Structure 1
Amino acid sequence: MQIAIFGGSFDPVHIAHETIVIEALNKLDLDLIILVPTFLNPQKITSHLSPNERLYLLSKNFKDHEKVIVSDYEINKNRPVYSIETIQYLKEHYKPDKTYFIIGADNYEKLNTWYKVDEILDEVELVVVTRNGFCNDIYDNILTLDVDIDISSTELRKNLDLSFVPDKIKDDVKKFWH
């Protein structure tokens, strides 16, 4: 079994997240892609939507994808969870032969600041999602998913533009947005 872990705040879920999932399923020989919304990113102070709102939106958006699982592992911890902990838990739970770990180019650029990054790199094969505006020529010997959709959750939160939100959750995002 081959799995990919794709974690994040998903605050809110947007069309680039959907595209990343589709590209990962098309490019990697995956049995499952596991989406892991954070309770709170260890490098952030807050999130706009609550953990349960983000979990709901992610679950609703991907409910019809048979190879996509939304994990509530980090949210159920009710605290910030480091990636290494989630990786080890999911590997123990699914017992995959191969585990990919999907991160964005923005996170790749600060990977050296992550907790136990060497252990992470020993546990998984890194997959970097390329993004306009980030140094995309530095990924020698690293798998990449070329998505390059010009949207970020940070920018989306500043000015909620529903054209970047998947249709099946637009009404929910409007309802949850404070």
Structure 2
Amino acid sequence: MPRIGLFGGTFDPIHNGHLHIARSFADELDLESVILLPAGDPYHKTTPRTAAHHRLAMAEIAAQADSRLAVSDCDIVRQGATYTHDTVQIFRQHFPAAELWLLIGMDSLLQLHTWHRWQNLVRQCRIAAAPRPGSNLAQAPAPLQSWLAEALPQGRLHILQAEPLPISSSQIRQQLATEHTSPHIPPEVLGYIQQHQLYCHIGT
């Protein structure tokens, strides 16, 4: 049974921290593939971000460095709100025999009970969470505690052992705006950014 990880994010821009975590998930969970899922353009227009086609292209460039990494535009091409539950359902249909892992951060895990149809979501896939500074399972709210008590011993929840790299997307965008370069971005991605003059006037 193939094991496939689904790793969503804004990826604005994708950087070495994202790639480190993606590879760590693949290593610890023995994943055949980690599918990077850049988020679509915000339909409510309140959160500015780099256009989806650029973020998708940067993710595709970055993924070429590791054969286990792939990229999907699943969350970009859908109209309106994109719920993780629906994304997982789409991949469940594409890979009915696969063991699907949803790859998220600890901060997101602690908010899982607020997600759209979260209880059905956790029946459709397994969850793996990467550490986040200031977030740990001891902070889990009551609605999650009974699920956590079952999911951990059943192997349906994995807490990543690898530590994240101390890299901030907002700091990288600031660096790109002022210095037009960053050591935290793969050279090929940096080349794309410079070619298309992205982040030239973005401070955050």
| TM-score using structure 2 length | 0.76
User: Hey, what's the Cα distance between the residues in 2 that align with 1:4 and 1:144?
Assistant: 14
* Mapping for residues 152-163 of structure 1, pairs under 5 Å: 152-160=168-176, 162-163=182-183
After superposition, the Cα gap between the structure-2 partners of 1:58 and 1:25, relative to the gap in structure 1 and judged at 3 Å, is same
Unaligned runs of 5+ in 1: none
Preserved contact between residue 42 and residue 81 of structure 1 (Cα < 8 Å): no
User: Hey, what's the Cα distance between the residues in 2 that align with 1:103 and 1:36?
Assistant: 12
Preserved contact between residue 175 and residue 182 of structure 2 (Cα < 8 Å): no
Which residue pairs with 2:117 in the alignment?
A: 116
Preserved contact between residue 16 and residue 147 of structure 1 (Cα < 8 Å): no
After superposition, the Cα gap between the structure-2 partners of 1:144 and 1:44, relative to the gap in structure 1 and judged at 3 Å, is farther
Preserved contact between residue 103 and residue 128 of structure 1 (Cα < 8 Å): yes
Pairs aligned (count): 177
2:71 counterpart of 1:75? no
Which residue among 152, 158, 180 is the counterpart of 1:143?
158
Preserved contact between residue 11 and residue 49 of structure 1 (Cα < 8 Å): yes
Unaligned runs of 5+ in 2: 141-147
Greater mean alpha carbon deviation, residues 110-119 or residues 52-61: 110-119
Which residue pairs with 1:50 in the alignment?
A: 51
SS of aligned partner of 2:183: helix
Tell me how far 1:64 sits from its aligned partner. Answer: 3.9
Q: Considering only aligned residues, what root-mean-square deviation do their CA atoms show, in Å?
A: 2.4
2:38 counterpart of 1:23? no
User: Hey, what's the Cα distance between the residues in 1 that align with 2:73 and 2:184?
Assistant: 24
Tell me how far 1:9 sits from its aligned partner. Answer: 0.8
Deviations 1:130-153 (A, max 9, x none): 12x222354872312223222232
Which residue pairs with 1:177 in the alignment?
A: 199
